[in-house]
Amino acid sequence: MRQFVLALAILCSLTLSLRAAEQITRADQVRGDKTDVEDAGLWIYNDMEKGIAEAKSSGMPMLVVFR
């Protein structure tokens, strides 16, 4: 019985750790996406007003993607 309780405790602990890791990973992915896109410089990130200003000054059309 004691071994079963111990195994259950380890399993719960492992599950909670994995869940925490998943949450950290997802949040990190969101933050990493922002950094990656901004560093690459190919897209204006989440700033519509900046995009409009750039399109007005360049005379180019805009491609606005929701993703």
Partner 1 sequence: MEQFVRVRMVQANAMDLTRFQFDYDLTFAAFLMNADGTIYGRFGSRSSQDAMENMSMPGFGRALQAALDLHDDYPANRATLAGKQPVTPRYERPEQYPSLAEYGAELEYDGEVVKSCMHCHQINEAERRLYREAKQPVPDKVMFPWPSPRVIGIELDRLEQATVSSVAPGSPADDAGLKAGDVIRTVDDQPIVSIADIQWILHHADDGDHIRIRAQQAAETRDLTVTLPAGWRKNTDISWRVSSWDVRRMGTGGLVLRPLSDEQRAAASVGADSLGLRVDGMGQWPPHNVAKQAGFMKEDIIVAFDGRTDAMTQSQLLAYTMQEITAGETLAVTVLRDGERVDLELPTQ
Give dist(CA 4, CA 29) in Å, integer: 37
- How near is the Cβ of 5 to partner 1 at its closest, in Å? 25
Hey, what are 57's tokens?
A: 């000054």
Hey, what are 2's tokens?
A: 């004691």
- Candidate residues 10, 16, 20, 33; the one interacting with partner 1 per rule CB under 8 A: 33
Give dist(CA 41, CA 12) in Å, integer: 44
40 near partner 1, rule: CB under 8 A: no
13 near partner 1, rule: CB under 8 A: no
Q: Which residues bind partner 1 (CB under 8 A)?
A: 23, 26-27, 30-31, 33-34, 37, 42-48, 50-52, 54-56, 58, 60-67
